[in-house]
Structure 1
Amino acid sequence: MKITDAKVFVGGPGKNYVTLKIITDQGIYGLGDATLNNRETLPAKYLQDYLIPNLIGMDPRNSEDIWQFFYRGAYFRRGPIAMAAFGAIDMALWDIKGKLANMPLYQLFGGKSRDGAMVYAHATGADLEDLMDSISQYVEQGYRAVRVQCGIPGMPTASYAVPDKPGENEHYMSDFSGIRPKVEIWNSDRYLRYMPGALAEIRARFGPELKLLHDVHHRLTPREAAEFARAVEPVGLYWLEDPTPAEDQSALKLLRQHSTVPVAIGEVFNSIWECNKLIEQELIDFIRVAVTYAGGITHVKRIVDLAGLHHVRTGFHGAPSHSPISMAAQHHLNAWAPNFGIQEYLVLDTPECDALFPSEHRMKNGMVYVSDAPGLGVDFDESEAQNYSYKPGSHPVVRLEDGTLWDY
């Protein structure tokens, strides 16, 4: 069996999805996702110019050797561009493998550990009452877990993942349009004074059963993160996400000395080498890698297995920048992983997206139920893809009130 061709498509409804299709001489094809949010053309070009010419003629069943060939053969290793491209190839090869076996991928991993996988939604509000309304909407839909973010009084602009005005909270997403990034203004002192009390009010309103998650998005120093974590201990958060910049892994030692709040980190990590010490030293409770950015199923399975040895559970990244292809890969991993924790779920469930990526994966009452179709269980309609093209965009940037650039 040989790979005879591979195609890259860039575009989609509301997002610049980078979709890879690998075709074999037996007519079986596999799909992968290489979407690198707001830098989508880079992994697409890497695939087209460097990786696909090497794929042609390879045996797609040898997914382990192919992964090693691209990773170890690159010399300059890792990084989000390369790992997203490798991840797309690896997903597509596993998709082919599942179709050859006529089995869903979770069966190739070792079968199901659970019937459904719990997901969390993003509740947000311009102020606390607006956030309360958003949480109520998701609770009514059956969600058992929500991430909560709201505006901070006195903050000059809306903070991370927060709308500008009340009433704009339903299905809110940050505006990434335009090549020049928007600027958010941040003040850690105001955040530290306000947010612990806000989280306590949310807990009092919704009771102990609802799982509450909160994302600091890298914006506190280690000392501030430790102070905040200790202050919110009575709230009983399911997790505190990215309390400090991920590059400074030793910072979490200080947090651990002062608080027992569960910590989730890893959505910006690209390999096991960015998170192995955090896992082995048990400085985190949830690992947040994504199948795309972390090099595909082959590599992420290694991370999941390492995490399982150290009481660390999964909490895969699931922002709208992940296409239904990469989310399908994570659905299969979630069904299998003995140390599964929770799955972020912020995909664009629209008729347009369903037409481009038809599948039988289903989300109901805050749980995802994986399809039993062979392989990834998601397809790609090339005729629908012709309706979309690349549109440039950028993440916002953050500055302090005096103009100092800060961590987004």
Structure 2
Amino acid sequence: MLKITDARVIVTCPGRNFVTLKIETDAGVSGVGDATLNGRELAVASYLSDHLIPCLLGRDAHRIEDTWQFLYRGAYWRRGPVTMAAIAAVDMALWDIKAKAAGLPLYQLLGGACREGLLVYGHANGETTEETLREAQRYIELGYRAVRLQSGVPGLKSTYGVSSDKDFYEPADAALPSENVWSTEKYLRSTPQLFAAAREKLGGDIHLLHDVHHRLTPIEAARLAKDLEPYRLFWLEDAVPAEHQANFRQIRAHSTTPLAVGEVFNSIWDCKQLIEEQLIDYIRASVLHAGGITHLRRIANLADLYKVRTGCHGATDLSPVTMAAALHFGISIPNFGIQEYMQHTAETLAVFPHGYHYGDGYLHPGEAPGLGVDIDEALAAQYPYRRAYLPINRLEDGSMHDW
């Protein structure tokens, strides 16, 4: 038995807010887990401190599956982003402990490597098509084999995914939600033009991706997917809000553009129909928001039966702890597709020393025991929590719309 003797929540803001759980054991082996929920960080911190940590003390850290079931089924009120982020933090930390106790990098306990590295994509964005393509070229020169393109929409003051800081995009930009204005009509006119220009300038060998960010109706999304077919996207992401999974049938009926969704999913039930009916090509659920490595492996196993591949969310609202967990997970499964890779700031990387590394378009989790990442608590204490919200979206007539 490896007894849990202590667990604590660390909230820090080295440029943006992160919530980290650290679990200690009687053998002196500790583990870390990410519990960050962008814009609702303190809700998860409270869930951990007030409800989960008291239940962890004295438990056997090796009993990961039993602990996951205890926290999920034992609460009665299941699922939801706060609950599943908290469970994920515990799950990550326990896998970190188990692998450290074995003296192995975590992926070895998950079955070993299925590939030499994980294909990643970078984020190229600009106010204009020309600026976006210059950024895409910069990523290609850094060795990236896949690039997500987001561009400003003519006639709109601001657009999702476009930032003045090209390396460290952070949408949670204000102490109260800022408001953006959206026009689907303007967006549907400009986006195919962006990808036509991209293929002409960048050629056919680079993988191109695009994020709609849940903003279209099914028939609008079908029209966009069909318009983008000539440019052979790697995927079209989050074309519609996915609460109603059957919405994707309409898109699928009209286009062969590959579809990806799932960064806001928190359980296998959110994607079961999408996978079983083969309405998507990539499932983007993250280790953090989908209940940890234990639960994400279930999602990946289901997806593998239907030739659906993974493409885990990897934005900067996930700490390096989640990135490390995603890499150990991704390198060990047969149906890995691609990994989103948004680089963290130097301040964040200093707070979270890590062993994963990038080279020639691929990430590797490294060979350190466990997750290969930790938190510098003394340094983290120098960056106190700062309230920050994601923006909201309104249509040009002032009505609320999906951000």
Q: CA deviation at 1:340?
A: 0.6
Instruction: Provide the residue aligned with 2:239 in structure 1.
Output: 243
Equivalent residue runs for 1:45-64 within 5 Å = 45-64=46-65
175 and 251 in structure 1: CA distance in 2 versus 1, 3 angstrom threshold: closer
Whole-Å separation in 1 of the counterparts to 2:127 and 2:184: 17
Equivalent residue runs for 1:137-156 within 5 Å = 137-155=138-156
RMSD between superposed Cα atoms in Å: 1.0
Whole-Å separation in 2 of the counterparts to 1:30 and 1:205: 46
Query: Is the CA contact (8 Å cut-off) linking 1:125 and 1:169 kept in structure 2?
Result: no
Query: Is the CA contact (8 Å cut-off) linking 2:153 and 2:186 kept in structure 1?
Result: yes
Query: Is the CA contact (8 Å cut-off) linking 2:352 and 2:373 kept in structure 1?
Result: yes
Unaligned runs of 5+ in 1: none
Query: Is the CA contact (8 Å cut-off) linking 2:170 and 2:316 kept in structure 1?
Result: no
Query: Is the CA contact (8 Å cut-off) linking 1:316 and 1:342 kept in structure 2?
Result: yes
Q: Return the letter of the residue paired with 1:236.
A: R
Whole-Å separation in 2 of the counterparts to 1:138 and 1:292: 27
175 and 242 in structure 1: CA distance in 2 versus 1, 3 angstrom threshold: closer
Instruction: Provide the residue aligned with 2:373 in structure 1.
Output: 378
- The partner residue of 1:263 within 259, 263, 271 is 259
Q: CA deviation at 1:177?
A: 2.9
Whole-Å separation in 2 of the counterparts to 1:175 and 1:340: 27
Whole-Å separation in 2 of the counterparts to 1:15 and 1:179: 12
Q: Return the letter of the residue paired with 2:30.
A: Y
Which contiguous aligned blocks of 4+ residues in structure 1 show a shift greater than 6 angstroms?
A: none
Instruction: Provide the residue aligned with 2:12 in structure 1.
Output: 11
Deviations 1:234-293 (A, max 9, x none): 000000000111112111101111001000000000000100111111000000001011
Is 2:308 aligned against 1:307? no
Is 2:110 aligned against 1:109? yes
- The partner residue of 1:358 within 326, 330, 353 is 353
Instruction: Provide the residue aligned with 1:323 in structure 2.
Output: 319
Is 2:389 aligned against 1:394? yes
Instruction: Provide the residue aligned with 2:285 in structure 1.
Output: 289
Alignment TM-score, normalising by the size of structure 2: 0.98
Q: Return the letter of the residue paired with 1:207.
A: G
SS in 1 for 2:78: coil
SS in 1 for 2:21: strand
Whole-Å separation in 2 of the counterparts to 1:360 and 1:29: 17
- The partner residue of 1:278 within 274, 279, 282 is 274
Alignment TM-score, normalising by the size of structure 1: 0.97
Identity rate, percent: 52
Q: CA deviation at 1:341?
A: 0.5
178 and 198 in structure 1: CA distance in 2 versus 1, 3 angstrom threshold: closer
Is 2:100 aligned against 1:99? yes
Query: Is the CA contact (8 Å cut-off) linking 2:132 and 2:150 kept in structure 1?
Result: yes
Is 2:15 aligned against 1:20? no
Whole-Å separation in 1 of the counterparts to 2:237 and 2:15: 26
Whole-Å separation in 1 of the counterparts to 2:83 and 2:290: 10
Query: Is the CA contact (8 Å cut-off) linking 1:3 and 1:60 kept in structure 2?
Result: yes
Is 2:158 aligned against 1:158? yes
Instruction: Provide the residue aligned with 1:37 in structure 2.
Output: 38
Whole-Å separation in 1 of the counterparts to 2:170 and 2:162: 8
371 and 145 in structure 1: CA distance in 2 versus 1, 3 angstrom threshold: same
Query: Is the CA contact (8 Å cut-off) linking 1:362 and 1:371 kept in structure 2?
Result: yes
Whole-Å separation in 2 of the counterparts to 1:179 and 1:388: 16
Query: Is the CA contact (8 Å cut-off) linking 1:162 and 1:174 kept in structure 2?
Result: no
Whole-Å separation in 1 of the counterparts to 2:270 and 2:335: 20
Instruction: Provide the residue aligned with 2:195 in structure 1.
Output: 199
Q: Tell me the matched-pair count.
A: 402
Instruction: Provide the residue aligned with 1:232 in structure 2.
Output: 228
